[in-house]
Amino acid sequence: MPGVEGFVPARLRMARGARALRQKELAELVERADTTISKWESDDHDQKPDPAVLPRLAEVLGVEVSWFFKPVDRAKGAAFFRSMKSELGRMRDKAEAKLGFVEAIDNALSEHVELPTVDVPDLIGDRDFRTLRIADIEHYARALREHWSLGEEPIEDLLLVIENAGIVVAQDEIGSTKLDGVSRWAENGRPYILLARDKNVGVRRRFDAGHELGHVVLHRRVSPQKLAEHFTLIEEQAMAFAGAFLLPESSFGDDVYSLSLEALLSIKPKWKVAVAAMIKRLAAMERITPEYERRLWQYYSYRRWRGFEPLDGELPVEQPHNLAASIEMILDEGIVSRADLVREIGLSAADIANLSGLSEEYLSPVPPNLVRLKPSMRVVGARTDGDAEIVSLSDRRKP
């Protein structure tokens, strides 16, 4: 039987990656040979799935059948991860695929609503990222704060600032605490960030967002090949940018009245940054010597703060809002129905809700044959056709 026309192999690769399935595992679930899955996923092979297997394929991967026929924009640049360890390969594939899900959601929503225009200044231009020094990164962090009129004080809600700049932000559980997020520029000229919910600590989420923002600002033209060659340098640059952007040298430095863990902990609620990040920032600012930094880390470990610091459970976790607000607007205005919106996106209601920050129930369509009729109350002594008048519950008056 000939395969279906218009099937997009990249959509199958993305859906399989999002479920962290190997080709062999998917083949077993749809009762096909793993070589068949390989051919279906190849852009260079003519073999496509037959119509009979598509519903099963969609069911196993948790997508709509329409998902496999939607075009895919090429990624404009590399996708940035915190770790490139080989054992995390499937989790990286999952995170990048979920970022592709986020792009698909945004592309569908953009048919009905407009997100903020992208306002990320091209501070680097054609400069080779390998020539950036710490002083340059400090300069670019200050320049971005100035461009966004943020001043020198702590940023109250970093995700709000990022979303206002037209960057699409989503969140999901990636499956590893070693991958805190992923980001990239898409072909449509918009940056996308997916933050991990695996740790769900406010100061960690905030610094992860600043780290991904560093990639967006500093590395928009970095190719996957360059990322692989200079991964450590690129990560160090993003880390330095996050520290400089969240903790400006002048204002943060003025708040550090003592170079002790207690003093840093006391200003943690104001700056909403971990003590560990403050130690690294002070070292970058050369406010502490390497010897004193080592001593602080020794005290830090002695107090068993690694992994979970004091106040980590008390400071709020910032949440993205634009995707959820867009979906709510579309549905509240009756532009399309819930079922039609899910079909347009091509993902399951669960995936859409999870990535956008909505409840799955909110996106679940109401079956058209389920209409709840309001009960009414029979009032004894009032006259209708017989001896009583029917009164709606809504007409009742409290005594």
- Span 277-292, pLDDT tens digits: 999 999 999 999 999 9
Same domain, 63 and 169: no
In a domain, 385, yes or no: no
Beta bridge partners of 63: 347
Same domain, 2 and 141: no
For every residue of 312-373, DSSP letters joined together read TTTSPPP---HHHHHHHHHHHTTSS-HHHHHHHH-B-HHHHHHHHT--HHHHSPPPTT--PP
Chain Cα centroid distance, residue 25? 27
In a domain, 95, yes or no: yes
Alpha-helical regions (H) of 42-133:
54-61, 89-109
Same domain, 40 and 146: no
Same domain, 137 and 159: yes
Same domain, 43 and 68: yes
Which of 18, 38, 72 is the endpoint of a domain? 72
Q: What's the rounded mean pLDDT across residues 267-273?
A: 97
Same domain, 120 and 53: no
Q: Which domain, by its residues, includes 18?
A: 1-72
Give the position of tokens 């390497």: 290
In a domain, 381, yes or no: no
Q: Tell which residue, 204, 292, 279, has the closest CA to residue 247.
A: 279
Q: What's the rounded mean pLDDT across residues 172-189?
A: 83
In a domain, 374, yes or no: no
Q: In the predicted model, is pLDDT for residue 397 greater than 70?
A: no
pTM: 0.86
Q: What's the rounded mean pLDDT across residues 20-24?
A: 93
Q: In the predicted model, is pLDDT for residue 363 greater than 50?
A: yes
Q: In the predicted model, is pLDDT for residue 180 greater than 90?
A: no
Q: What is the pLDDT of residue 324?
A: 96
Query: How far apart, in Å, are the Cα atoms of 47 and each of 38, 61, 289?
Result: 10, 20, 62
In a domain, 398, yes or no: no
Exposure letters 219-241 (e unless 16+ CB within 10 A, then b): bbbbeeebbeebeeebbebbbbb
Same domain, 195 and 247: yes
Question: What CATH number does the domain containing 47 carry?
Answer: 1.10.260.40
Same domain, 64 and 125: no
Contacts 24+ apart (CB under 8 A), 153-157: 153/251, 154/246, 154/270, 154/271, 154/272, 155/246, 155/272, 157/318
Same domain, 35 and 164: no
Amino acid at 353: A
In a domain, 306, yes or no: yes
Same domain, 52 and 85: no
Q: What is the pLDDT of residue 388?
A: 46
pLDDT digits (tens, 9 = 90+) for 368-383: 565 566 676 666 655 5
Q: In the predicted model, is pLDDT for residue 23 greater than 50?
A: yes
Q: What's the rounded mean pLDDT across residues 54-72?
A: 92
Same domain, 203 and 291: yes
Question: Domain tally for the chain?
Answer: 2
Same domain, 43 and 100: no
Which of 24, 41, 72 is the endpoint of a domain? 72
In a domain, 393, yes or no: no
SS3 content of the chain, % helix, strand, coil (to 5): 50, 10, 40
Q: What's the rounded mean pLDDT across residues 52-57?
A: 93
In a domain, 386, yes or no: no
Q: What is the pLDDT of residue 398?
A: 44
Q: Tell which residue, 135, 115, 100, has the closest CA to residue 12.
A: 100
**Which two structure tokens, joined as six digits, stand for 236?**
């160090």
Q: What is the pLDDT of residue 378?
A: 66
Which of 72, 89, 120 is the endpoint of a domain? 72
